[in-house]
Amino acid sequence: MLGQREPEIYGHQTLEDIRALCLEKAKTLGINADFRQSNHEGVLVEWIQEALGVVDGVVINAAAYTHSSVAIHDALKLLSVPIIEVHISNPKEREAFRHFSYIEPLAAAVFAGFGAKGYEMALEKVAEIAGSGT
């Protein structure tokens, strides 16, 4: 619901705008990107599991699941690639229930509060880490 839900927090860019931004950024970095979105926790877990042994990094904005999903945490633990957590707003500057992240302990980096630019920063970080062989 990006662009419609709480634009004072999340801005006016739509999911399609962010998809285009990410795909263009990946192209300029010379990396492949697969941009996906689901509102269903189980689908997200399955996508993460499918990434095992296939991808060089994962950029994830788990939205509200960040604060509640042990299943997503456990799926991400399977991966041995950089995991980059992204949030358009900064959850730690919002309601107390948003201050905890199940993803953060697994993340090589967290970009929160940078708006859509955080996705570009995350892709740069994946390219940097994957390119270094780490």
Angular region, 6: left φ>0, alpha ψ -120 to 50, beta rest: left
What does the angle CA 84 – CA 107 – CA 40 come to, to the nearest 5 degrees? 70
* CA–CA distance, 62 with 79 (Å, rounded to integer): 16
* CA–CA distance, 114 with 124 (Å, rounded to integer): 14
Radius of gyration of the chain (CA): 14
Catalogue the active-site residues.
10, 87
User: Residue written as tokens 């962010």?
Assistant: 18
